[in-house]
Amino acid sequence: MNFAQLLNQLPGAVAQGLIWGVMAIGVYITFRILDIADLTVDGSIATGGAVAAILITQGVHPWLAALIAFLAGMAAGAVTGVFHTVMGIPAILAGILTQLALYSVNLRIQGIGTDLGSRANVPLSINKYKNMLVSLRNVGSFTLENPIWLMLLITAVLIGLMYWFFGTEYGCGLRAVGANPQMARAQGINTNSGKLTGLMISNGIVAFCGALMAQYQGFSDVSMGRGAIVIGLAAVIIGEVIFGKLFRNFALKLLAVSIGAIIYYLVIQIVLWLGLNTDDLKLLTALVVALFLAAPHWKTQVRIRRTKGGEKL
């Protein structure tokens, strides 16, 4: 691949980053606000894609399809929430269970209307469904059809909505649930229902992202969510590392997450251009995220060692 080809790939990377950024904002809600690493997302993003794809092939308007995908994601989040709060299963395990169950559910959703009743892939050609919201076909164009414009708008609206929601009395209560559950209970907040609500909203957003992604790439696939949580975390962490000192405001922090996702995809394009094999991408992503997750831990270790040295005097 030469440099001109790389430049050609960049708009696609930005569009993809913006779409994944929507999911990453969902991940931010559980990971940073509720302090839960929710692995449901690998399943719920595909659920969103499956629901939207099936509805669109049935003639439902893509916007409505995306909205219903959002609701389906909320239902998936509710399952994890019930596993965690009512059944007392640790949050990570609860997410893994839902994710696994969703694989079957997603095959079934995609199989609606087929003889087998289950299907791994639903094609969504832009030629056939011309009213789809975003398509990678238009990513190089300079018209309003370019998916980047709509994605910018969606990102802005989503950040605005989240800023409003987490600023309300209820949203402040949710933040307290994540920040200090004991304090939240002492202030009369039901931490269980808070976690449930948070998981539902987060997975709703993730599934909405899945709906956009299926339209963008022109198909929905049952395994399209594999590793999604890691990409979401990568976006959150990249955003924090680069803008953490600069962005204090909540809306800006969410913006940083979205930019983090764009940077992630730009970097991916560049390493691919430099000759990395696509098959090795997930390995690279996992290692990079592990390094960034380790950074705060290592920082404190260094600090401890320094204080020890100081006491030797």
Partner 1 sequence: MTEPDMLILRNVQKTFNPGTTMQKTALSGITLTLHKGDFVTVIGGNGAGKSTMLNAIAGTFPVDSGDISLNGREITHLPEHRRAIFLGRVFQDPMTGTAASMNIEENLALAIRRGQKRGLRWGISSRERALYREKLASLELGLENRMGSRVGLLSGGQRQALTLLMATLKKPELLLLDEHTAALDPKTAEKVLRLTNQLIQENGLTALMVTHNMKDALALGNRTIMMHEGNTILDLDAEQKRHMTVEDLLAQFEKVSGRELSNDRMLLTR
Q: Closer to partner 1 at the Cβ: 64 or 157?
A: 157
Picking from 48, 51, 31, 42, the residue whose alpha carbon sits closest to that of residue 99 is: 42
Q: Does 191 bind partner 1 (CB under 8 A)?
A: yes
Least separation in angstroms between residue 164's CB and partner 1 is 9
Least separation in angstroms between residue 199's CB and partner 1 is 18
**Beta carbons within 8 Å of 214's beta carbon, 6+ residues apart:** 48, 49, 50, 52, 53, 122, 124, 220, 224
Please identify which residue in 1, 64, 120, 186 interacts with partner 1, judged by CB under 8 A.
186
Q: Closer to partner 1 at the Cβ: 196 or 262?
A: 196
Q: Does 188 bind partner 1 (CB under 8 A)?
A: yes
Q: Does 183 bind partner 1 (CB under 8 A)?
A: yes
**Beta carbons within 8 Å of 82's beta carbon, 6+ residues apart:** 196
Residues numbered 143-182 forming contacts with partner 1, rule: CB under 8 A: 165, 167-173, 175-176, 179-180, 182
**CA 172 – CA 158 distance, rounded (Å):** 18
Q: Is 152 helix (H, G, I), strand (E, B) or coil?
A: helix
Binding string, residues 13-32; x marks residues near partner 1 by CB under 8 A: --------------------
Q: Does 185 bind partner 1 (CB under 8 A)?
A: yes
Q: Does 97 bind partner 1 (CB under 8 A)?
A: no
Q: Which two tokens stand for residue 9?
A: 């790939």
Q: Does 189 bind partner 1 (CB under 8 A)?
A: yes
Q: Closer to partner 1 at the Cβ: 63 or 170?
A: 170
**CA 199 – CA 73 distance, rounded (Å):** 10
Q: Are the C-beta atoms of residues 256 and 243 closer than 8 Å to each other?
A: yes
**CA 299 – CA 291 distance, rounded (Å):** 12
Binding residue count for partner 1, defined by CB under 8 A: 22
Residues in contact with partner 1 by CB under 8 A are: 165, 167-173, 175-176, 179-180, 182-191
